[in-house]
Amino acid sequence: MIHVPSLILDVDKCKKNIRDMALKAKEHKVTFRPHFKTHQSLEIGRWFKEHGVNKITVSSLEMAEYFLPEWKDITVAFPTNILEIERINRLAEKIQLNLLIESAETAKFLIENLTNPVGFFIKIDAGYHRTGVQPKDGNIIDDILKISEVSAKLIFKGFLSHSGHTYKCQNKADVLDIHQRCMNTLVELKEKYKNEYSNLILSLGDTPSCSIAEDFEGIDEIRPGNFVFYDLMQNKIGSNAIDHIAVALACPIVAIHDDRNEIVVYGGGVHFSKERLENEKEGTIYGRIVEKNENSWGDLIPDTVIKSLSQEHGIISVSDDQIKNYSIGDYILALPIHSCMTANLMKRYKTTDGKDILMMNSW
Amino acid sequence: MIHVPSLILDVDKCKKNIRDMALKAKEHKVTFRPHFKTHQSLEIGRWFKEHGVNKITVSSLEMAEYFLPEWKDITVAFPTNILEIERINRLAEKIQLNLLIESAETAKFLIENLTNPVGFFIKIDAGYHRTGVQPKDGNIIDDILKISEVSAKLIFKGFLSHSGHTYKCQNKADVLDIHQRCMNTLVELKEKYKNEYSNLILSLGDTPSCSIAEDFEGIDEIRPGNFVFYDLMQNKIGSNAIDHIAVALACPIVAIHDDRNEIVVYGGGVHFSKERLENEKEGTIYGRIVEKNENSWGDLIPDTVIKSLSQEHGIISVSDDQIKNYSIGDYILALPIHSCMTANLMKRYKTTDGKDILMMNSW
C-alpha cells in the first residue's frame, strides 16, 4: 500500500536493462564496469553479478566504502579528493582501488601519502570541459606519469573519459558524433603511450553513448550508470524507450483543482529533485505521469505532466477530459526527469514484486 | 577539519535570525509559529524556545512525528494526505495536531476516520494558485464547515494562506503588494465568519512577507521558515542581506583549470540540490562563493559563482586575478540558492563553534 511518496522499482525492467548492457559489452568485447551511483544499492548490485560483472565504478569514496563488503575492484570516477587520504588508505588496504588523477600536484601528494598501492587513471577531457586533462596538454600527462613511476604505490591503469556533454544532445546523431570524437581522442593517446605501458586501458562510459553507439573499436572498458533505470532525460536524448524506464515515483493525491485542471500530489523537490526538462510543447516539466496497471505501469498519459514542484508539493497539469479520473486518496505514478537524483533523495525502493530495497545512507 | 562536503552553520547568525523574527512577531502582536521544514532539527528547534515559541509548523506528518518529543502543538502546513490516517490518529492522540483542509471530501473522510480530535485550518488560495480554496468559492468553505460541525473531532481553527508567489518577486514592493492582498483576503473572510466562529485565527507566513512587511493588522499568526538560514534566493527578493545567511557549504577543491578560470569542487547536485538563480550578469548560477575567515565567512568574493553542478561535481567560475588563490586540497565555502533544499540533502550541520547537529533522517 502507498501512504507516502514511494519510489517504485520495476524489477523486470531493471534486470532487462542490466542484461542488455551486459550483453552489449560482451558483444563488443569491452569490460563492463557499471557505475553504481544511480542505484546506490548492494542488493541491486548483486543483479549484475549474474552477468559476470566483478568491477564497478562509484562517484565517491564514501560510496566505495558502502560497496566494499561485496566488491573488490572499484574505480572512483571523481577527481581524487586528497583531503580524504585516510579513507583512501583504508580502502586500498582491502580492495583494488582505482583513482582519477588530472594534476601533478595530486600525483605528488599521493606518492607521499599512500600506504597501500592504488591504481590510477588519467582523466582525459575529450570535449565535456568539466574535468580532466586536455589531450593537447601532453606535458601534464607526462608529468603525472613521471611522478607515478618513482612509486610502487601509484600504478598507471590507463586513460579515462566521461562525455557528459551527451546529456545535452537532442538526438542520436549528436551523441554518436561526441562518442566518435571521444574514442578518437582516447585511441590516439593509447597509440602514443602503448609501447611504454602495454596494458593501458581506455575507459569511457556515459549512458547515452553506451546505449546508442555500436562502435567501441579500441575501447577496453565502459562505465555507464544511469541505464540501470533510465529516465525522461535519457529518453529525450534517445538512449531508451519510455518502457525501459524502471523507476516511478508513487505520489498520493491530496487536492484536485478542476477549475484549472490541476491535481496536487504529495511529492515535491525533496522527492523528485528539481531536475527539469524544457519542452517546446509543455515548457518546463519535472516529470510525466504514466498509467497504473496491476503491479507496474504502462504508457504515458498524454498531456499529463508535473508542471511545478515545491519542497513537498507537486502540481500536475491534467487534460480537461482526464481530470475526472483522479480522486483524493488515490495516487499517481510519475516517471522522473533524472533517476539518479530521484533515487539519491528517496534512499529506498519498493519493488513491483513487493519488497523493500535499501540504499546507501537509508534511514 | 573539512574532508567532504559539509554544511557549516553559523550559530550566531542563525540565532540572530530567530531572535529578530521572534521580536518582530511580538512587536506586531502575532503568534510566532515558525516552520521547521528548513532546519528539520530538534536541536535548532530548541533555540526558538528561548523566545517563548511553543507552537510550530511542519510540512509532513513524518516531520510532525520527528518533532513530537519536544513540541505539543504542531500544524502540518500541507493538504491533508488521507492515506496517512493512521499516522494522523497516532499523532492526535499525543499532541494538538492541526491539519489543512481544502475539500469537502477530505473533511468527510476525516470525520469518519478520526479517533482523536484534531484542529483544522481551511487553506485559502490568496493568489499563489498552488493549493487552497479560492475566496470566491464560499460554498466550498461552507461545505467544509458544515461537515466539521457534526463532529467533535474536527475543530475549526481558522483560515491559513501561504503566498509562495513572493518567491518569484524581484523587489520588496512586489512582495508588499502580494502580502497586502493576502491580508485583505484573509481579513474579509474573518469578517464574514467571526460571528459564528469567534476564536478563528488568520495565519500567513512566507519568509519574504514576514521579513519585509511591517503591517500585519488583523493577522493572528505568522509561519515563516526559511528565515532561520535565509539564502541567495531570499537575498535576491530582498528578504535579507548576504550577511544574514547562516549556512554555507564547505566543498573540497579537487581540480583547477586555470586556462578557463574554473575550479572543480567536491559538492554537486546531491549536496546543493539543483535549485538555481537566473541573473542578468552571470546567467544561471547554483551558488556564490564567500571569503573564509577564522570560524565563519565574510563577504561574497566578486565574480565567483557555481556555474554548473553534476551529481557530485561543482564547477566554479573564478575571475582571472583570483584563480591563483585556490589550490587542490583546500576548500571553498558556498552560499546556497535555496537553504531548505540544501539542508534537506545534507542531513546534518557542522557548527562554527565546532559541534555536529543532526536532522530528521540523518544517517
DSSP secondary structure letters along B289-330: EEEE-SSSEEEEEEEEEEEEE-SSEEEEE--TTTGGG--BTB
Is a pLDDT exceeding 90 seen at residue B218?
yes
Nearest neighbour of A274 by CB, restricted to B87, B274, B312: B274
Those of residues 204-243 in B touching chain A at CB distance below 8 A are none
B254 Cβ under 8 Å from any chain A Cβ: yes
pLDDT at B14: 98
pLDDT at A225: 98
Which residues of chain B does A332 touch, with a Cβ-Cβ cutoff of 8 Å? none
- For chain A, percent of residues with pLDDT exceeding 90: 95
At B117, the pLDDT band (50, 70, 90 cuts) reads: very high
At A363, the pLDDT band (50, 70, 90 cuts) reads: confident
- Copy the grid coordinates of residue B316: 566554479
pLDDT at B1: 87
Is a pLDDT exceeding 90 seen at residue A353?
no
B277 Cβ under 8 Å from any chain A Cβ: no
The residue-averaged pLDDT of B88-115 equals: 98
Whether the Cβ atoms of residue B267 and residue B334 lie closer than 8 Å to each other: yes
**What domains can be seen in chain B, in order of their start residue?**
72-224 (3.20.20.10), 242-358 (2.40.37.20)
pLDDT at B69: 98
The residue-averaged pLDDT of B97-123 equals: 98
The residue-averaged pLDDT of A187-194 equals: 97
- For chain B, percent of residues with pLDDT exceeding 90: 95
Which residues of chain B does A327 touch, with a Cβ-Cβ cutoff of 8 Å? 105
Helix%, strand%, coil% for chain B, nearest 5: 35, 30, 35
Whether the Cβ atoms of residue B228 and residue B234 lie closer than 8 Å to each other: no
The reply to whether residue B344 touches residue A311, judged by beta carbons under 8 angstroms, is yes
Is a pLDDT exceeding 90 seen at residue B2?
yes
Nearest neighbour of A105 by CB, restricted to B102, B270, B328: B328
Nearest-Cα distance to chain A for B361, in Å, is 6
Chain B residue with the nearest C-alpha to that of A253: B81
Distance CA B332, CA B339 (A): 17
pLDDT at A356: 97
Q: Is the dihedral of CA A37, A41, A46, A51 positive or negative?
A: negative
User: Could you tell me the strand order of the sheet in which A96-101 lies?
Assistant: A31-32, A221-222, A201-204, A154-161, A118-124, A96-101, A73-79, A56-58
Contacts of A232 (CB under 8 A, 6+ apart): A245, A277, A287, A288, A335, A336, A337, A338
The residue-averaged pLDDT of A231-238 equals: 97
B261 Cβ under 8 Å from any chain A Cβ: no
* Of A328, A253, A324, residue with least CA distance to B107: A328
**pLDDT tens-digit readout, B51-68:** 999 999 999 999 999 999
Nearest-Cα distance to chain B for A84, in Å, is 6
3-state secondary structure B259-285: CCCEEEEECCHHHHCCCCEEECCCEEE
B317 Cβ under 8 Å from any chain A Cβ: no
Nearest neighbour of A79 by CB, restricted to B83, B264, B274: B264
pLDDT at B363: 87
At A1, the pLDDT band (50, 70, 90 cuts) reads: confident
Is a pLDDT exceeding 90 seen at residue B131?
yes
Nearest-Cα distance to chain B for A279, in Å, is 18
Nearest-Cα distance to chain B for A267, in Å, is 11
A340 Cβ under 8 Å from any chain B Cβ: yes
Whether the Cβ atoms of residue B59 and residue B38 lie closer than 8 Å to each other: no
Whether the Cβ atoms of residue A58 and residue A67 lie closer than 8 Å to each other: yes
At A294, the pLDDT band (50, 70, 90 cuts) reads: confident
Is a pLDDT exceeding 90 seen at residue A12?
yes
pLDDT at A285: 98
The reply to whether residue B311 touches residue A87, judged by beta carbons under 8 angstroms, is no
Is a pLDDT exceeding 90 seen at residue B341?
yes
Chain B residue with the nearest C-alpha to that of A309: B130
Burial class, A12, CB count within 10 angstroms (exposed 0-12 / middle 13-18 / buried 19+): middle
pLDDT at B289: 98
The residue-averaged pLDDT of A187-205 equals: 97
Which residues of chain A does B37 touch, with a Cβ-Cβ cutoff of 8 Å? 311-312
A308 Cβ under 8 Å from any chain B Cβ: yes
Nearest neighbour of A79 by CB, restricted to B59, B255, B311: B255
Which residues of chain B does A81 touch, with a Cβ-Cβ cutoff of 8 Å? 3-4, 252, 254, 266
**pLDDT tens-digit readout, B305-335:** 999 999 999 999 999 999 999 999 999 999 9
Q: Could you please report the per-residue DSSP string of B117-186? A: -EEEEEEE-SS--SSSB-TT-HHHHHHHHHHHHT-TTEEEEEEEE--GGGGG-SSHHHHHHHHHHHHHHH
Distance CA A56, CA A45 (A): 9
A361 Cβ under 8 Å from any chain B Cβ: yes
At B94, the pLDDT band (50, 70, 90 cuts) reads: very high
Nearest-Cα distance to chain A for B136, in Å, is 12
Distance CA A265, CA A326 (A): 11
At B244, the pLDDT band (50, 70, 90 cuts) reads: very high
pLDDT at A269: 97
Distance CA A151, CA A11 (A): 45
The reply to whether residue A105 touches residue B2, judged by beta carbons under 8 angstroms, is no
pLDDT at B294: 86
pLDDT at A20: 98
Render the burial of B260-291: b for 16+ CB within 10 Å, e for the rest. Answer: ebbbbbbbbbbbbbbbbbeeeeeeebbbbbbe
Is a pLDDT exceeding 90 seen at residue A159?
yes
Least confident of A323-332, B79-88, B129-138: B129-138
The residue-averaged pLDDT of A283-297 equals: 95
Q: Cell 508567489, residue?
A: B165
pLDDT at B87: 98
